Amino acid sequence: MKVIIDTSSLLSLVRYYLPFDKKNKLFKFIKKEIENGNIIVIDAVYQECEYTSKGIVLKTLDYLKEKDFKKTYKLPLKTKDLLPPSTKKFYNLLNDNFRTPLSRRLNEAEFEERKKEFLETADARMIILALIKKGEKEDVTIITEESEIGNDHKAFKKIPALCKILKINVMTLPELLDTFEGIDVEFK
């Protein structure tokens, strides 16, 4: 299984899990999974990590900033120019099913501007990449800490709701860690 990880999950990893990883077992495991291409970090998520919480993700997972590491493992994965498969169908879903009640109150020009902004976000790029990989018959899952409910006054639904519509697998970080053999959380 390949996973596309979002900024909130990387932030949770470095804030809530790695401080208790005294033997660096989880740190090394995550690095190995990124090297193997099983954990995918896209360019838009990487950019968010640079300025979110003073760059704590890139400071903690310092190998993500190393020039040789980035070059060797082609990180972050470039997604800026990706087009969704079944482009017409995707845009129809975007115009109808992905909208929140807030976006329905916008005039056409405002909605088109919000749609353009949304397509540049990490959320949209992760979803488009997942659709491409799914079309290539790859087992792909998006990892996010977002919940399906609430929209933070956004014009489009959150990742879990969009994944439900598109039939893309979605998990939280704890659910992902639970699937990895050899990764256990224990308290002594």
Cis peptide before 76 (omega within 30 of 0): yes
The residues, any chain, with a CB within 8 Å of residue 168's CB and separated by 6 or more, are 127, 130, 131, 134, 140, 141, 142, 162
User: How wide is the angle at C-alpha 103 spanned by C-alphas 114 and 3, nearest 5°?
Assistant: 65
pLDDT in tens, 80-126: 999 999 999 999 999 999 999 888 899 999 999 999 999 999 999 99
First to last CA, the chain: 31
Percentage of the chain with pLDDT > 90?
87
Task: Choose between 186 and 111: higher pLDDT.
Answer: 111
Please tell me the predicted confidence (pLDDT) of residue 75: 96
pLDDT in tens, 62-77: 999 999 999 999 999 9
- d(C-alpha 77, C-alpha 128), whole Å: 13
What does pLDDT average to over the chain? Answer: 94
Average pLDDT over residues 148-167: 89
Does this model's pTM top 0.75? My answer is yes
The residues, any chain, with a CB within 8 Å of residue 33's CB and separated by 6 or more, are 39, 180
| Structural domain boundaries in the chain | 2-179
Q: How many CB atoms lie within 10 A of CB 118?
A: 16
Please tell me the predicted confidence (pLDDT) of residue 144: 97
Please tell me the predicted confidence (pLDDT) of residue 162: 96
Please tell me the predicted confidence (pLDDT) of residue 181: 78
Please tell me the predicted confidence (pLDDT) of residue 186: 64
Please tell me the predicted confidence (pLDDT) of residue 180: 85
pLDDT in tens, 16-58: 999 999 889 999 999 999 999 999 999 999 999 999 999 999 9
Pairing, β 140-143 against β 39-40: unpaired
